Copies of this chain bind each other. A is one copy, B any other.
């Protein structure tokens, strides 16, 4: 009846984490009516007016429960003829955004410890803080059509789609879509996942849409009652305007605003401060929370964090995100820029060593300059430089017409160039003529690269810049391979040191990316001063699974439960992980102070990072933007071990 109500409440805002009671209720209803999303419930603030006594009672109960459970509570209550009954309380689900704020603030309130705060934030949740936001100026100029509940923070623009299946289809074709529905149901999951954001006309913060968006980390607005959706016609009417399927729309999940058209996004506040340097740290609350949490994490973690970075600008981003070094600098990316590719191609087409050396001479000063830039940026932090890795055919065109053009450009015969392209074709390039195999057959390539590295180092040192190069040989499977390459590198290093008269501290190590290297890690560690796991290739070889071709069946494997995770995303502990553990043990048995890291993409995956901590790696290296996640995951690994 009218003196009865039922509702759901949170002790803090589950979408953005602000410390305020937050809830919804319906008069004369059952509990499921609130979460079903059919009727949009009223915000708790109105209960204060409608049933002041019950409201005061709630206000008294909320902190008791939160303090008792020491976490944000998600509660159900009912009011029977004015009397409050608490039906249920549990730890509330929250967005990544809210998780950070709640964790940091609770620690500062003294409710939980800093360590607990670290454990309260799922590392991938940090992505929400780093995601683009709407450009303030552009947004100011945009028309606000309506306002709903800010269920999932973030900025999302896309073309309106009214059906979840269509959303998935459109997304497959590369369209950015915004899913607009009266409410969502479990069968919409796939479409929700495929959308940039979700907007519903009905439902509250505890509706299906809000719940799922929180879990997926999707931008989401719910309960936007101003929307009139005619799904049959494929029309949305709001604020006197009619929009159709395919029209652009934007939603600000942090404020609940629905905006006309597509709005330009800019980097998140954290990025504006750290990378773009267009914002002052003190202007951003988010940044303060982020910094605090990560500073606690940095104090706890034992794993080092490095970045995969090939250029000085990437190095600067990496440093902004806390990189303690470069774990993987791919020299081949430098082979493509500007007119370098010409020299590279001449080298490949050369008939003999003399021809290759001539072309390499042209590359030397460019590579040297690249390394100078990177050393300057990293300013004394270690930089792991990998010698040439990809198969040579990657540097040549493959289409008839392109070959013809290039032949003209280079002044060589079409047939000669085409013959070379053909001769470099491989049945299984992944398992072919690449990695150290190139440097072993063409030692002059390794020589040039070593010379560029050490001359760059000498140049920096002479200018007072500290340098710590670590030369890394890829795709080693046999000790003899590494030995041959190591001798070349050391030979050049000693020569440069002698000629330039400067002392250069450096190490030579190897990637562990094929099973045989892991199996014979003790032998290999007798030469290598460090290991860096290339978990991408190690996964491919250990599983006999080409990343480029697995698409045909990997989905079905995941559906059938044959695989629990995509092994290219989260490291396969039982198989690949077993080899890694073996390599660490064998490697350190042969060389006690062997430094061991990982530079595959798994370095930025929280679950994998925990495993890497567990097997005693020294550091993980990942893309600069994954560094905050890696730092947090590394700290959590320490704490989970304790608990």
Contact = CB atoms under 8 A, between A and B. Distances in A.
A559 B565 CA distance: 43
Contacts of A575: 477, 515-516, 519-520
B542 A428 contact: no
A12 interface: no
Contacts of A503: none
Contacts of A491: none
Given A430-B546, A516-B572, A520-B575, 6 more contacts: A433-B549, A440-B553, A478-B557, A480-B557, A480-B562, A516-B575
B515 A553 contact: no
Copies per assembly? 2
A232 to B, nearest CB: 31
A337 to B, nearest CB: 25
Contacts of A550: 432
Given A430-B427, A552-B433, A553-B437, A542 B519 contact: yes
Given A478-B563, A480-B560, A481-B562, A574 B520 contact: yes
Contacts of A430: 427-428, 431, 544, 546
A151 interface: no
B513 A544 contact: yes
A441 B553 contact: yes
7 contacts: A426-B549, A428-B546, A431-B541, A432-B549, A480-B560, A514-B543, A515-B543
Interface in A533-591: 537, 540-546, 548-550, 552-553, 556-557, 560-563, 572, 574-576, 578-579
Interface of A: 426-433, 437, 440-441, 475, 477-478, 480-481, 484, 513-516, 519-520, 523, 537, 540-546, 548-550, 552-553, 556-557, 560-563, 572, 574-576, 578-579
A560 B487 CA distance: 14
A541 B515 contact: yes
B556 A440 contact: yes
Contacts of A437: 552-553
Nearest to A514: B544
Contacts of A563: 478, 480
Contacts of A431: 428, 430-431, 540-541, 544-546, 549
Contact of A440 (B440, B514, B560, B572): B560
Contacts of A557: 440, 478, 480-481
- Looking at A437, A440, A520, A579, which has the most chain B CB atoms within 10 Å of its CB? A437
Contact of A426 (B477, B546, B556): B546
A557 B481 CA distance: 9
Contacts of A428: 428-431, 546, 548-549
Contacts of A546: 426-428, 430-432
Nearest to A578: B519
Contacts of A537: 544
B540 A514 contact: no
